[in-house]
Structure 1
Amino acid sequence: MHLIIAISLILLIFTQSSRADNQPIRVGVDAWVPFRFVTDSEVTGIDHDLWTELSPRIGAQVRYIRCPWKRCLEMMRSGQIDAMSGLAWRASRAEYITYTKPDYFMCSTHFYIRKNEEHRLATAQDLKQLNIGMVRGSAYYSAFDNDSTLNKTQMAQESVLLQLLSAQRIDTYIGTDCQADYELARSPWSDSFIKASFNPGNHLPLYIGLSNRSPWSKQADRISQAIQEIMNGEFPEKIRQKYYQ
């Protein structure tokens, strides 16, 4: 009897482990250049390059699921997708997401404003007088994220924020420099917008996260080890040369 129980437990553990191994990993994506260039036909960018490196190491094909950022997070909570990349760590997200280690990119948070208006945002207190554009569901830094008194205009994507600032429908927008600088430099407003004088001074590491409802969450240690191997190799320098030179 004890032998039968032991064999049953071994088979159960093997089944749960292989259930993830035999399935593609469903990754939620939205457009966030240069990390994710998303079209109807393909996904490219830094995150795609990372998943391309990671896929053979974890023995799984990557299936991209297109969804707005906030919707992607809701799908992580329900287990409709297995993973997301480009995630900042937040305690509220960690309730339903297992974060892998290490981070694969380091960003900083900044506010962007029309040129010659940077004096309007010199301190954190100035934020209370402004209409601030942001991406719905994004995490920037705790003091901002948790301040319900600020006037925040929430949109689905960063690209819309530049248009709103140009049309003077918002006074400033918040973004992470690793993405916002890239997008601004390639936009029609590269000479019209600058970073505000006020700088939150925070660092924002980006992670791959796994839905706690996904069988892939049980593979978090193995995936973390694979990410560490990638980051110890030539990947960081290749990304710098490909996207930031």
Structure 2
Amino acid sequence: MMIIFKEFLIVILVVLFSIATFSQSSVILYTYAQDIVPKYIIQGNSISGFCHDIIVELNKELKKDNVEIRYKSSTAKPIQQIISSLSNKGVQIFVGVPHSEEWEKTVKYIRLPLYVVREIFVIKSDMENVLNNKDSMKIGVIGGTVTARKIPNMPQQQEIVEYKSITEAMEALEKGKVDTLFLSSLPLGYYISQSKGKYKSMNAPSEKCYQYIVFSKSVDDKVIRVVEEALRKILINGVIDRLIKKYGLEGYVLPGNVVEILLVDWKPYEWYDKDKKDWVGMDVDVVKKVFSELGFKPVFLSFPWTRCLELMKTKMYDGVMSVRDIEERKDFLTFPREPISAGFDVLFKLKSKKIDISSLEKIPKEALCGYGDGYAYGDWFWNAEFRKVPVSTDEVGFELLKNGRIDLFVCNLLVGKYIAREMKIEVEYSPVFGEKMVYYVGFSKNFHGSYLAESFSEQLKRFKNTSDYMDILRKYGVKYEELWK
């Protein structure tokens, strides 16, 4: 009896294993090619192109999980038809589509971007001077695209002309039927790079546009997670970088795991090391470590502080460092739950200056205090009765303090001590009059920004409990208690 039972159990296990294996091997995700070059290039029954090559690389990773992306036909389709097919379960996946709140109602998005583009204008190179003097502009777009719905305002009067495909639009530009085309930098960048100087892009501020993999809502979430991990691997392994170079798209397309972050020199939190030719600092090291663990590559760019905030309003970049979450900034920034660092603002003066800064009441009303333009200070500072004057940077403030142009300068305690030591000036600083200043990495107010804020917050919280985090603080001479106690 026992032998029969064992044999029966073995049969059951074999059947279950066979069913599981069959189930896994039968996960075929059908897709279409889009009628836009170089995302998909159709030659007869053959499909190639930037996104096609991405599918090839994804399939290499997906093979071990018995998942495959396969074309349903070799005929390219317009994006609206592809989205409709996904909604109707005609196909299960599409590679290379921007986020749209309207489309999100009918398809599932992987939150990790595939690659990043901007919208750009392209013109014929020999028409640049002519167009600068025109009172009106005919702008060609591809009908039904997300890009077509957000053309920026120009000084000239605008007339929008819709086309069905990029090929048709480029022919119209060539024949002078339109003055310029406005479209994603992927196809236009490709045409520019292939044209040998015939076409060029017009400089125009543009928000970043993140391209994604989307699925029919009928696709199981487990399968979607498998595809997402395959995407993460090819991003980390530099596959998208290599394809960008293959198609001559450098300067027009970024891999989806590149995060562009704005910052200023603000020792010891962040500053540019001229010897290392890299950004360093307590917060920079933490951001690099946290994002690397998430599979992202942070890229740091510096502008004056007020300019950083203005650029974030345009959604041209992904994040900004060491920013306070005051109410007015929540209109254009997404804040993670977990702060990056903290500090206290105090008043600095020269030791030789005969001003009592032991309390706000003892500071003369005629005393002149500098502050960083665009920085967020506590109410204690704004309510103080001494005179106030904005300066461009903390370094400028200390220079004015050194030269006797101002009597006081308000600054983060750690930052002020660093600057004074570097400038070799003897200063004194006041007691802490206000609350602790808590700083965040503020992310763009969009679909991708909310994803970055969530992912970054969770990983940062875990990282703060590691010895690696404590090592970073010690490296910059900062005690844990100075930040968080």
- TM value normalised by structure 2: 0.45
1:4 and 2:103 matched? no
- Once the two structures are TM-superposed, the CA of residue 113 in structure 1 deviates from its matched residue by 0.7
1:144 and 2:381 matched? yes
* Residue 433 (structure 2) aligns with: 200
- Once the two structures are TM-superposed, the CA of residue 152 in structure 1 deviates from its matched residue by 2.3
Gap change, CA 1:233 and 1:39, over 3 Å in 2: closer
- Once the two structures are TM-superposed, the CA of residue 90 in structure 1 deviates from its matched residue by 1.0
Q: Select the structure of larger CA radius of gyration.
A: 2
Task: Give the partner amino acid of 1:14.
Answer: Y
Task: Give the partner amino acid of 1:42.
Answer: D
Please, which of 403, 406, 410 is the counterpart of residue 170 of structure 1?
406
* Residue 263 (structure 2) aligns with: 29
Q: Supply the distance in 2 between the matched residues of 1:213 and 1:9 (Cα, whole angstroms).
A: 14
1:161 and 2:397 matched? yes
Task: Describe how 1:79-158 pairs up with structure 2 within 5 A.
Answer: 79-117=315-353, 119-125=355-361, 126=363, 128-145=365-382, 147=383, 151-158=387-394
Gap change, CA 1:5 and 1:16, over 3 Å in 2: farther
User: Bigger shift: 200-209 or 168-177?
Assistant: 200-209
Q: Supply the distance in 2 between the matched residues of 1:215 and 1:170 (Cα, whole angstroms).
A: 43
Give structure 1 stretches of 5+ with no counterpart.
Answer: none
- Once the two structures are TM-superposed, the CA of residue 141 in structure 1 deviates from its matched residue by 0.9
- Once the two structures are TM-superposed, the CA of residue 187 in structure 1 deviates from its matched residue by 2.6
Q: Supply the distance in 2 between the matched residues of 1:158 and 1:148 (Cα, whole angstroms).
A: 20
- Once the two structures are TM-superposed, the CA of residue 144 in structure 1 deviates from its matched residue by 2.3
1:18 and 2:113 matched? yes
Gap change, CA 1:3 and 1:11, over 3 Å in 2: closer
* Residue 63 (structure 1) aligns with: 299
The count of residues paired between Structure 1 and Structure 2 equals 241
Q: Supply the distance in 2 between the matched residues of 1:184 and 1:209 (Cα, whole angstroms).
A: 28
8 A Cα contact 2:346 2:413, kept in partner: yes
Q: Supply the distance in 1 between the matched residues of 2:442 and 2:104 (Cα, whole angstroms).
A: 28
Deviation digits for residues 175-226 of structure 1 (CA, Å, limit 9, x no counterpart): 111221222233310xx21113x53142112211112146232332221101
* Residue 239 (structure 1) aligns with: 472
Gap change, CA 1:232 and 1:81, over 3 Å in 2: same
- Once the two structures are TM-superposed, the CA of residue 118 in structure 1 deviates from its matched residue by 5.8
* Residue 218 (structure 1) aligns with: 451
- Once the two structures are TM-superposed, the CA of residue 158 in structure 1 deviates from its matched residue by 1.1
Q: Supply the distance in 1 between the matched residues of 2:432 and 2:290 (Cα, whole angstroms).
A: 34
User: Bigger shift: 114-123 or 156-165?
Assistant: 114-123
* Residue 420 (structure 2) aligns with: 184
Q: Supply the distance in 2 between the matched residues of 1:17 and 1:105 (Cα, whole angstroms).
A: 26
Gap change, CA 1:128 and 1:199, over 3 Å in 2: farther
* Residue 442 (structure 2) aligns with: 209
1:46 and 2:282 matched? yes
- Greater relative contact order (Cα 8 A, min sep 6): structure 1 or 2? 1
Q: Supply the distance in 2 between the matched residues of 1:127 and 1:238 (Cα, whole angstroms).
A: 43
- TM value normalised by structure 1: 0.85
Q: Supply the distance in 2 between the matched residues of 1:75 and 1:127 (Cα, whole angstroms).
A: 38
- Once the two structures are TM-superposed, the CA of residue 149 in structure 1 deviates from its matched residue by 7.1
Gap change, CA 1:11 and 1:184, over 3 Å in 2: farther
8 A Cα contact 1:26 1:63, kept in partner: yes
User: Aligned Cα RMSD in Å?
Assistant: 2.9
Task: Describe how 1:67-78 pairs up with structure 2 within 5 A.
Answer: 67-78=303-314
Q: Supply the distance in 2 between the matched residues of 1:212 and 1:50 (Cα, whole angstroms).
A: 22
8 A Cα contact 1:38 1:44, kept in partner: yes
After the TM superposition, which parts of structure 1 deviate over 6 Å for at least 4 consecutive aligned residues?
none
- Once the two structures are TM-superposed, the CA of residue 11 in structure 1 deviates from its matched residue by 7.6
- Once the two structures are TM-superposed, the CA of residue 30 in structure 1 deviates from its matched residue by 1.1
Q: Supply the distance in 2 between the matched residues of 1:27 and 1:97 (Cα, whole angstroms).
A: 13
8 A Cα contact 2:87 2:107, kept in partner: no
Task: Give the partner amino acid of 2:271.
Answer: F
- Once the two structures are TM-superposed, the CA of residue 65 in structure 1 deviates from its matched residue by 1.6
Secondary structure of the residue that 2:414 maps to in structure 1? helix
